[in-house]
Chain A
Amino acid sequence: MSAAVEYFQYVLAPQMLIGLVLGVAVILVALGLTIIFGLLDVINMSHGEFYALGAFIALALASIGLPYWLLLALVPLLMLPIGYVVERGLIQRVFHSRDRHVTTLLLTFGLGLVLEDAYRLVFGPNPYKPETPISGGVELFGIFIPSYRLFLIVIGAAIIAAVAFVVYRTRLGAMVRAAAYDRHMAASLGVPVQHVYAGAFAFGVALAGLAGVLLAPIYTVFPTMGRDFILMAFTVVIVGGMGSIAGVVVAGLLLSQVQAIVSLYISPVWSEPIVFGIMVAMLMVRPQGLFNRLGHG
């Protein structure tokens, strides 16, 4: 019995905590992705690059002396107009074409390439390691956890709750859900659909930027940082159900735990193929994912 408790305390629980940090991080990135898909029907292939953009803006502003806690609020605010302009100036140009899914996917894919190379041009290819804003660690139920990671879990949960509150419990959220369900009906009821669309895109992009600021001290900042991370975010969005907020949270926690626990028993390099395998299997069996789309039941 005590062996089982010790196994849990020293092997399983720390690993699950690592998984939880990854899970919260992925959920933050995936939330924006799923909102954009749920509302606009757009697969934002450049989402990972917006995540990186948040980290790079924070890096640039930190170098002129702004404190980390200010950046946490400032970077998402700076990302909002960027996202708004991208939606109005770029996405809308191909939004009404016949193959909207394909053209918007291609356009954002191209945007991602340009952004990634632009970061390399401005910041160089080498990784930066920002200073961890909270040092040290705490012991929680006999498990040691670095303070910053604990902070990340708490603030991540708060952000997820705030997003869910805005989408499901406010007038603004109701307009978003109405536009997702039936854009023409929403428009005729006076919802400014054009602005809701652009606003939702900007909001999703800002969330990705916020995730970039939060995760930079853990995962370091480099031009292709979005690339590896976005795969996991896509997997979470697909398994949870494209355009579902609850789905992202559930699938994000589930898949990150799968990845963390699997790494205990087989070589960690195989945890990624397993997670992607789950995604392919999910697409085969239930392409719409675990949960319903935003605004749909």
Chain B
Amino acid sequence: MVDAITRSMRASHVLVAVLVAGSLAFAGVGVAINDTFYLRLATEALIFAGLALSVDILLGYTGLLSLGQALFFGLGAYLSATVLMVVPSFWAAMGATAIASALAGLVGGFIVQRVRGVYFALITFGMAQVAAKIVYNTRALGASDGLIGVPVININLGVVSLSSASPAGFFLFVLALIVVFYAFAAYLLDTPFGRLLIALRANESRIPFLGYRTSSARLAAYVIAAMIAALSGALYPMLRGFVSPELLFFATSGNAVITVVTGGAGTLVGALYGGLLLTVLKSVVGSYTEHHLIVIGLLFMGAVVFLPKGLMGIVRPAIERLLARGRTP
């Protein structure tokens, strides 16, 4: 079935392809000039874009604003760091994170299942605060210092092996993973399950009359978002070699929300471009003044007031028109 949402998502796919092409060129230039700093910065931007993607699945589709997605991002980061310090294996870290975050997502999902709307935002916020305070005060998890000394690992991809210390190699690897997350989310939301989530947002009380259960759909969306956030977080210690409790703080969740809303909620690709834009802004504005929060805050407020669909609300319809013209000459 090809409807308006499918057509919009096709435009999103084109925009992701553009982003990938740009990233490949960026990596090429990075290797040519032997850069480390910008490649690592871009890798970090992609990791946080993965977190933003998980926020968009909840906000853009089910209409649930999570103010505590850092909970799962931090879970992934801490678990991955712990696993890597014992067994320096990429797949062990990612596997453990996937299982743990699915379980944590289920538990968290049952808790948040009970509330709607604004209370959902507050309960996710509260849960993340509790977790952040616990980690911050637990000696075994490094307390306020975090965990340092995560070893450099070799990622075994069957045919080739890749070191997490190689700036361009790890950048491309993270890019590939984030694109996989995007593709997975986009595929899932194009299935009848995805349409159910959109219907949830539009009118939740009408859905049971159509014969669907709302609770299981909401729970599934929450668990998937939790897993994507955690798996993105698991990449963080591989890049930076440490984790700190800041990853669990509200600023992390808040930044992800800013990313999604500025980029465009409900577009998925908006999370990726939003992350890119915010990182560029932070480093460009940050090189002139340390008060980049004013600029980002104003931009964000502008997006909330004037661009309900964010930047993608401007860009994507243009791509859609181009695609439509290509099909009917």
Indicate whether B61 reaches chain A with its CB closer than 8 angstroms.
no
- Asked if B296 is at the interface (CB within 8 A of a chain A CB), the reply is yes
Complex partner residue of B117 from A97, A101, A270, A272, CB under 8 angstroms: A101
A120-B291 in contact given A102-B65, A106-B257 (Cβ < 8 Å): yes
**Looking across the interface, which residue of chain B has its beta carbon closest to that of A114?**
B297
Q: Are B293 and A114 within 8 A (Cβ)?
A: yes
**In this assembly, does B1 line the interface, its C-beta being within 8 Å of a C-beta of chain A?**
no
Q: Which residues of B contact A279 (CB under 8 A)?
A: 122, 126
| B130 within 8 Å of A (CB atoms) | yes
Cβ contact within 8 Å between B297 and A111:
yes
Minimum Cβ distance to chain B for residue A234 (Å): 7
Inter-chain contact B122/A238, CB cutoff 8 Å = yes
Q: Is the CB of B304 within 8 A of A276?
A: no
Binary contact readout B63-76 vs A (1 if CB under 8 angstroms, 0 otherwise): 10100000000000
Asked whether, in the complex, the Cβ of B122 is within 8 Å of the Cβ of A118, the reply is: no
B126 adjacent to A114 (CB under 8 Å): no
Measured CA separation A41–B117 after assembly (Å): 11
Query: Chain B residues near A238 (CB, 8 Å)?
Result: 122, 126
Give the nearest-CB partner of A273 in chain B. Answer: B133
Residues 112-129 of chain B: 1 if any A CB is under 8 Å from the residue's CB, otherwise 0? 001101110111011101
Would you list which residues of chain B between 130 and 145 have a CB under 8 Å from chain A? 130, 133-134, 136-137
Q: How far is the CA of A189 from the CA of B207 in the complex (A)?
A: 37
Q: A273-B133, A273-B134 are in contact. Are A94 and B123 (CB under 8 A)?
A: no
A114: which of B65, B129, B294 is its contact (CB, 8 Å)?
B294
A15 part of interface (Cβ distance < 8 Å): no
A105 with B291, Cβ < 8 A, contacts A238-B122, A283-B115 known: no
By a CB distance below 8 angstroms, the chain A residues around B297 are 110-114, 117
How many A-B pairs fall under 8 Å by CB? 108
B59 adjacent to A102 (CB under 8 Å): yes
Cβ–Cβ contact B122 & A234, under 8 A: yes
Find out whether the CB atom of A110 lies under 8 angstroms from the CB atom of B308: no
B300, A113: Cβ atoms closer than 8 Å: yes
- Determine if B16 is an interface residue (Cβ-Cβ < 8 Å): no
Given A102-B121, A121-B291: A97 touches B137 (CB 8 Å cut-off) = no
**Beta-carbon contact of B126 and A283 below 8 Å:** yes
- CB–CB A276/B129 < 8 A: yes
A283 touches B122 (CB 8 A): yes
Inter-chain contacts of B298 with A (CB < 8 A): 110, 114
CB-based contact B130/A277 at 8 Å = yes
> A276 to B258, alpha carbons, bound, how many Å?
24
Per the CB 8 Å criterion, the residue count for chain B at the interface is 36
Q: Which residues of B contact A116 (CB under 8 A)?
A: 293
Interface residues of B in 243-262 (CB under 8 A from A): 254, 257-258, 261
Distance (whole angstroms) from the CB of A230 to the closest CB of chain B: 10
Q: What range describes how many residues of A lie at the interface?
A: 35 or more
Shortest A142–chain B CB gap in Å is 34
Q: How far is the CA of A273 from the CA of B258 in the complex (A)?
A: 26
Name the A residues within 8 Å of B115 (CB-CB). Answer: 283-284, 287
* Cα A168 to Cα B230 with chains together (Å): 48
Report if B301 contacts A (CB, 8 A).
yes
A99 in the interface (beta carbon within 8 A): yes
> Measured between C-beta atoms, what is the minimum distance from A40 to chain B in Å?
12
B65, B111, B257, B308: the one contacting A280 at CB < 8 Å is B111
Min CB–CB distance B209 → chain A (angstroms): 21
**Which A residues are CB-close (under 8 A) to B293?**
113-114, 116-117
Is A169 on the interface with B (CB-CB < 8 A)?
no
Give Cα A101–Cα B297 distance, bound, in whole angstroms. Answer: 19
Q: In the complex, A272→B257 CA distance in Å?
A: 25
Instruction: State A111–B254 Cα separation when bound (angstroms).
Output: 13
The CA of A272 and the CA of B134, in the complex, are separated in Å by 9
The reply to whether B294 and A121 contact each other, CB–CB distance below 8 Å, is yes
Residues of B contacting A250 in the complex (Cβ-Cβ under 8 angstroms): none
Q: Does B210 make an interface contact (CB < 8 A)?
A: no
List of A residues within 8 angstroms of B130 by Cβ: 273, 276-277, 280
Q: Choose among A101, A103, A238, A267 the residue with the greatest number of B CB atoms under 10 Å from its CB.
A: A101
Q: Does B157 contact A (CB under 8 A)?
A: no
Q: 3 closest pairs, A vs B, by CB?
A: A113-B297, A114-B297, A117-B293
Q: What would 16 A/B residue contacts be, using CB atoms closer than 8 Å?
A: A99-B63, A101-B121, A105-B65, A106-B261, A107-B305, A113-B254, A118-B294, A238-B122, A272-B133, A273-B133, A279-B122, A279-B126, A280-B126, A283-B119, A284-B111, A287-B115
* Additional pairs, 9, CB under 8 Å, beyond known A93-B305, A106-B261: A41-B118, A43-B121, A112-B297, A113-B294, A113-B296, A234-B125, A238-B122, A283-B119, A283-B123
Q: Which residues of B come within 8 Å of A, CB atoms?
A: 59, 63, 65, 111, 114-115, 117-119, 121-123, 125-127, 129-130, 133-134, 136-137, 254, 257-258, 261, 291, 293-294, 296-298, 300-301, 304-305, 308
